[in-house]
Amino acid sequence: MKKIYLLSFILLIGCSNTAKNKTDSKSQTKVPKEILIELSSSDNMLFDKKFIYVNSRQKITLTLNHIGEFDKKIMGHNFVLLKKGVDVTEYATRAMKARDNEYIAEGDDVIAHTKLIGGGESDTIIFDAPEKGSYIYICSFPGHYGVMRGILIVK
């Protein structure tokens, strides 16, 4: 909390040089505690978002929708958010073999993930935003991560 106040204070000072008034800049720095994110996929094997923006310390409620028709055995999708520094190709290769675990590889590589869903299904997960930075998310269904991927940007 202290950090937020300090940040708004610095921003206020920064803004005093411009024409902006104080209440304006104050409302701009206020960040909601929770954020809802809707991510869609379908039989075309794509996510509808390449970038997702959140703020650190936010509670993220993410819903993954599959608006296609194919069964999850053929065109399954999930949302797998990888930790920083995880090699995407290496992870996806391991995940591909983890069919019994819905293509989530064993280990400590993932910040959060949904279950694997097929056409007409959706899944919602809740997790805390990680620290500031960029994080890659993929669909770990075999063969999908090359195109089904995006970046979660934590400001």
Is residue 144 within the footprint of Cu ion (CB under 5 A)?
yes
Dist. CA 129–CA 142, nearest whole Å: 27
Tokens of 12: 């206020």
Rounded to whole angstroms, what are the CA distances from 64 to 29, 78, 105, 113? 29, 7, 19, 10
Residue with smaller CB distance to Cu ion, 105 or 139: 139
Tokens of 149: 């991927």
Q: Which amino acid is at 136?
A: I
Dist. CA 106–CA 50, nearest whole Å: 26
Residue 148 beta carbon to Cu ion: minimum distance, rounded to whole angstroms: 5
Subset of residues 85 to 124 that bind Cu ion, contact rule: CB under 5 A: none
Q: Which of 47, 141, 145, 149 binds Cu ion (CB under 5 A)?
A: 141
Query: Terminus-to-terminus CA distance in the chain, angstroms?
Result: 16
Contacts with Cu ion: how many residues (CB under 5 A)? 5
How deeply is 92 buried, as exposed, middle or buried, from its count of CB atoms within 10 A (0-12, 13-18, 19+)?
buried
What is the SS3 assignment for 137?
Answer: strand
Is residue 149 within the footprint of Cu ion (CB under 5 A)?
no
Is residue 139 within the footprint of Cu ion (CB under 5 A)?
yes
Residue with smaller CB distance to Cu ion, 55 or 118: 118
Is residue 77 within the footprint of Cu ion (CB under 5 A)?
yes
Residue with smaller CB distance to Cu ion, 133 or 146: 146
From the list 24-32, 61-69, 97-105, 131-139, the region that binds Cu ion by CB under 5 A is: 131-139
Residue nearest Cu ion, Cβ-based: 139
User: Contact positions toward Cu ion, by CB under 5 A?
Assistant: 77, 139, 141, 144, 148
